[in-house]
Amino acid sequence: MFRLIVRMADITSRLEAVVARLEAYASNLGSSSAGAVRSSGAAEERRKSPKLLDYEDFVTNFLPPFLESTKKFKQLEKIGAQAQTVFDRFHDLIDAESVSKKPSNDELVKFLDPVVQVIQSADGAAADNRSEFFNQNKAWAEATQAFAWPTVGGPRQHINDTLESADFYLIKILTTAKKEGGAKEKDLASFATSLKTLLKELAEFVGTSYRAD
């Protein structure tokens, strides 16, 4: 579903049309801009919601192993940076939920624009089948579709469905890793295993925290 959304030719105009409304939404967070939500003094002083604490626990436990795996190869460093961007933005979104009313669909799309940009970029990088890291790029491109979970019905199932699509390439990565052997085998395998775990645990968090949403 989201793959179609991010590929719509008029997405730019849609995003521009809601800038003013987003700024009003973000101002409720006590920051000067939507991208600086967590840096505001008001956000730091108020008590964190249980959902945000659960999210922070999830990120602390499962994001770092994946980020570390992307540092093993220079060609994968961009993926690590993109993952950090996505999960930082989700932190801002969940934080916003505790102090602001539910945003409109347009406001939500605009708020998630950095995530949309990551999805589009990952999809473009995956088109290069000459790359030594084609399978990693394809696995990541498939995985990024899971990041549409705030915009879809049945978000947990959406993430699990995305994982099934990504798993085709994750298995290929593991197969290649076994052929390499040695330290490279471990480094290649860590990308596949940590990404799969990250998506599985994201589905668990979303399924638990957004069960009634």
- Tens digits of residue pLDDT in 26-51: 444 434 344 444 444 454 556 899 99
Domain 2-209 architecture: Alpha Horseshoe (1.25)
Q: Are 114 and 55 in contact (CB under 8 A)?
A: no
What is the reported pLDDT for 169? 97
What is the reported pLDDT for 12? 35
pLDDT digit string (tens) for 119-151? Answer: 999 999 988 888 899 999 999 999 999 999 999
- Cα–Cα distance measured from residue 183 to residue 185, given in angstroms and rounded to the nearest whole number: 5
What type of residue sits at position 18?
V
**Residues in the chain with pLDDT values less than 50:** 1-41, 43
- Cα–Cα distance measured from residue 131 to residue 99, given in angstroms and rounded to the nearest whole number: 45
Delimit the domains of the chain by residue range.
2-209
Q: Is the dihedral of CA 44, 48, 53, 59 positive or negative?
A: negative
What is the reported pLDDT for 78? 97
Kindly report the average pLDDT of the chain as a whole number.
83
